[in-house]
Amino acid sequence: MIKLEYFTSADFETLLDWVQDEELLVQWAGTQFRFPLSTKKLDRYIEDANDFEHSSTFIYKATETESGRIVGHISLTAINRENRSARITRVLVANSERGKGIAEQMVKAMMKIGFEELHLHRMSLGVYDSNLPAIKCYKKCGFLVDGVLRDIQRHGDEYWNLMEMSILEDEWAAITARDGHKPDIKP
């Protein structure tokens, strides 16, 4: 099991250790950062984040509940309280923890925050269409494919397509009811 906690400057070194090559940086952050990642860039990344009442960005680390080890990273960005929408971004699981269902736990925890605490109507995300494990995870969490943006990211001599996915509050409510949980969703 994992829990989400705010990502702070004390967590920078862990993330810097995980993101050692340019391709992983692009897969993780798209155009948010240029390689190499640095503490200075991460300082700007967390600036104005994580104020629950006012921020449009929440940045989390995923911590394993038993050991306290950081096993992942995830953000909720573009929070629009008027339109009740936000975007899950920068999902990353530590190499040593991949294949253990941690990404699914992180995404579900983020959906719970979005739908039950922020009372969002819609949550979206983008994933490169070559990232089949991530797509499988997001579909398992209930995200549906909205469409594909073709050749959106150039990487070396090739272009990557971006798959756009989303989930709505009533879809989240149906999933949680099916799984035996009563969601706390309010307009």
For residue 165, the number of C-alpha atoms closer than 13 Å in the C-beta half-sphere is 23
Q: What is the pLDDT of residue 186?
A: 45
Question: How far is CA 50 from each of CA 10, 16, 90, 184, rounded to the nearest angstrom?
Answer: 15, 20, 15, 22
Residue 116 has pLDDT above 60, yes or no: yes
pLDDT tens, position by position, 134-182: 999 999 999 999 999 999 999 889 999 999 999 999 999 999 888 876 5
Can you list the domains of the chain with their CATH numbers? 2-178 (3.40.630.30)
Contacts of 117 (CB under 8 A, 6+ apart): 52
Mean pLDDT (whole number) for 11-29: 93
Distance (Å, rounded) from C-alpha 187 to C-alpha 182?
16
For residue 16, the number of C-alpha atoms closer than 13 Å in the C-beta half-sphere is 14
Length of the chain in terms of residues written: 187
pLDDT tens, position by position, 59-113: 999 999 999 999 999 999 999 999 999 999 999 999 999 999 999 999 999 999 9
Which residue matches tokens 């799984």?
Answer: 179
Q: Which helix (H) or strand (E) holds 139?
A: helix 132-140
